[in-house]
Chains A and B, each alone.
Chain A
Amino acid sequence: MQTALFIIFGLLAVLGALNLLFQRHPINSALSLIVVMMSLAVLYWSLGAEFLAAAQVIVYSGAIMVLFVFVIMLLNAGEEERTHGSQIAYIAGIPGAAAIFCLLTFVFLSEKKQLGTTQLGGYLTSAVSNITEISHTLFTSLLLPFEVTSILILVAILGAVVLARKEL
């Protein structure tokens, strides 16, 4: 069950990501990204992280992607033009991506025995609530990263203001 789910949605995520790259119209790319995000949510859920799965759906698919699509529609962005400017992206990029993929596959396969397997629902038993665990971590050992993220968001807002305002 776990394996079947993983294969289906893992493949869906990879195909969605590839489609995102190959599509020439921004709307198609944005919709492919939604497929990626939703497949990832299913993978999280199958590993026993229901909270993360729900957050993924709400935040990415619900909020961020809707905004993406809105912006693309408002800008009325048309089909992108191919410039053929960057040969180096093809010469170095594709072998590089293939090399990283092979390296990761090799490492995960060679460590297969130690890494073990997981079943549907992950390692959490019903005695431990996922949300309790997450909130406990979030408000004790990871309190500071959680709080400091607010500065990160503030900087991002400030950046948007700077980039969007009229000429200097």
Chain B
Amino acid sequence: MPTNLLTLLPEIILTVTGVLVMLAEPMIAPGKSRKPLGWLAILGTLASGLAAFYQLQLVNASGPISGFYATIQVDAFSVFFHLLISSIVLVTLLASLDYFEGPVSHAGEYFALACFGATGMMFMTCSVELLMVFIGLEISSISTYILAGFRKGQATASESSLKYFLLGSFATAFFLYGIALCFGATGSTSIGAIAASLGTTATPALALLAIAMVVIGLGFKVSAAPFHVWTPDVYQGAPAPVVGMMSTAPKAAAFAVLLRFLFNAAPMYRNHWIVLIEILAVLSMTIGNLGALMQRDVKRLLAYSSIAHAGYLLVAFTSIQQDAVAAACFYTAAYAAMNVGAFLVITQLSGYDEQARTIDDFTGMALKRPGLSALLGFFLLSLIGIPFTGGFFGKFYAFSGAIHNGHVVLAIIGLANSGVACFYYLRLLAALYARPVREDATLLSPRKLAIPAGIAIAASAVATLALGIMPNHVLNLVQRATPETLPAFSVAPAVSTLPPAAPTEMTR
């Protein structure tokens, strides 16, 4: 197979799947179930995941593969994010199969947009050319803007879509301006060339401004405070399975770009951008957690919690170079597993019309839906960071990395915030198991859990649990990803200070 084709195999498969779904859509009579299209999209996502896995074997054998005039670089780092994104989209599609079933279903476009969105996110993670990153970012953003407004009946859906679109475009402008200034300072938009000429650039102030602009643009996309204002409104109005996807997959891709840009293109400005990252991390953790304390709506609560988690993730960036990438990647995976899981359970509990919205609506849910409530409880515990869940090791690596590099105050602020976070997660958890049970006609006859959605929720739960009791597999992959992201540092002894998860050895 030609190298160029090989480097883009997962993206090509997903694009073709999206096009096929669109072509097959008009062939299904109006009023008929759109499920076959969903299965086609699921098959395509699965195939792209396998293609990413195949790429991993090649990367293992012969090192990073570069293609298309060095705009694309396939390495362990990009493969890790490809696998993560394809699993998130796969699980979301499985859970959405029955969500959009109705008399007049337009789910065909939904499945196609999910595939295209995933393509954009994958392009973001494997590009080493900022223009290509920008196009990937736009593909992923536009798909998610549309997906956010998919429940057209609701007023909140239109609000959600429009707000996301306006603020997202605003953020994209910052990112693009950053790229332009970067070109002005270094004469290139390729990450490798930027890294080579940034050290000797005659215009350091311009370069700093460029880095700040790129960080601001990506800060919007990962909803780090103070660029978070859109998050609660958008999450409240968007369909629950879409929120599960868009609070994890585009964020993972944006974090991947941020990691590549900061650690690969701009390592010589580390002392400068680390201050910026610290400010963002402290603000995100504090505003996110304090905001969540005041929420009664469960989706808004989880939106604020996702802002706080972006803050924890940014703490990982302050570790020493070798650890930062590994810790951040691990946190992304753990956060994706538990957050997607939580939103999928909420999808099942509240349904398409979202009869159960506030914490009061969820009171006593455990008596009616014991299994789902227990799983939601498990995901909430993981979001708190209880041991034996993925959330624990995510936070552990992020904070221990920061402490090893001397950012003790930052880690203390993070830990204090985790304490605050316990309160609102546990309040929701306690409500699930509390009395009085809401006697509501619609809630008394719960919908049956469909098998695909059940598989999706179970997969998220297993992933959260697996990351919590044997994190070493994923940690090994992300630690291998580090040298490729840090070519400038591969000469330095890549001794990692991340402890390789002692509990695994003990449980064996």
A residues near B (Cβ < 8 Å) are 103-104, 107-108, 110-111, 114-115, 140-145, 148-149, 151-152, 154-156, 158-159, 161-163, 165, 167-168
10 closest cross-chain pairs (CB), A and B: A114-B202, A159-B146, A144-B68, A111-B203, A141-B69, A168-B152, A144-B71, A145-B131, A145-B132, A107-B205
Cβ–Cβ contact A151 & B139, under 8 A: yes
8 further contact pairs, Cβ within 8 A, besides A103-B209, A144-B132, A151-B15: A142-B129, A144-B71, A148-B135, A148-B136, A152-B138, A158-B109, A158-B116, A162-B113
Interface of A is mostly: helix
Q: Is B150 an interface residue (CB 8 A)?
A: yes
Taking the nearest CB of chain A, how far is it from the CB of B279, in angstroms? Answer: 16
Taking the nearest CB of chain B, how far is it from the CB of A124, in angstroms? Answer: 15
Question: Inside 8 A of B59's CB, which chain A residues have their CB?
Answer: none
Interface code B56-72, partner A: CB below 8 Å = 1, 0 otherwise?
00000000000011111
Question: Inside 8 A of A107's CB, which chain B residues have their CB?
Answer: 205-206, 209
Question: Chain A residue with minimal CB distance to B22?
Answer: A158
Question: Chain A residue with minimal CB distance to B158?
Answer: A163
Cβ–Cβ contact A115 & B203, under 8 A: yes
Question: Inside 8 A of A114's CB, which chain B residues have their CB?
Answer: 202-203
From 234 to 262 in chain B, residues with beta carbon under 8 angstroms from any chain A beta carbon are none
How long is the Cα–Cα vector from A141 to B209 in the complex, in angstroms? 26
How long is the Cα–Cα vector from A115 to B70 in the complex, in angstroms? 28
How long is the Cα–Cα vector from A142 to B209 in the complex, in angstroms? 25
Cβ–Cβ contact A151 & B120, under 8 A: yes
Question: Inside 8 A of B206's CB, which chain A residues have their CB?
Answer: 107-108, 111, 115
How long is the Cα–Cα vector from A21 to B78 in the complex, in angstroms? 42
Q: Is B119 an interface residue (CB 8 A)?
A: yes
**Number of B interface residues, CB 8 Å?**
42
A155 CB contact (under 8 Å) in B116, B131, B184 = B116
* Known A142-B71, A151-B120, A167-B153; contact A162-B139, beta-carbon cutoff 8 A: no
Cβ–Cβ contact B205 & A111, under 8 A: yes
Cβ–Cβ contact A144 & B72, under 8 A: yes
Interface code B264-293, partner A: CB below 8 Å = 1, 0 otherwise?
000000000000000000000000000000
How long is the Cα–Cα vector from A162 to B203 in the complex, in angstroms? 46
Taking the nearest CB of chain B, how far is it from the CB of A112, in angstroms? Answer: 10
Cβ–Cβ contact A145 & B71, under 8 A: yes
Cβ–Cβ contact B106 & A154, under 8 A: no
* Known A114-B203, A152-B142; contact A141-B71, beta-carbon cutoff 8 A: yes
Cβ–Cβ contact B145 & A148, under 8 A: no
Cβ–Cβ contact A167 & B152, under 8 A: yes
A145 CB contact (under 8 Å) in B102, B135, B203 = B135
Cβ–Cβ contact B146 & A168, under 8 A: no
Question: Inside 8 A of B68's CB, which chain A residues have their CB?
Answer: 143-144
Question: Inside 8 A of A141's CB, which chain B residues have their CB?
Answer: 69-71
From 94 to 118 in chain B, residues with beta carbon under 8 angstroms from any chain A beta carbon are 102, 104, 106, 109, 112-113, 116-117
Cβ–Cβ contact B129 & A155, under 8 A: no
Taking the nearest CB of chain B, how far is it from the CB of A166, in angstroms? Answer: 9
Q: Is B123 an interface residue (CB 8 A)?
A: yes
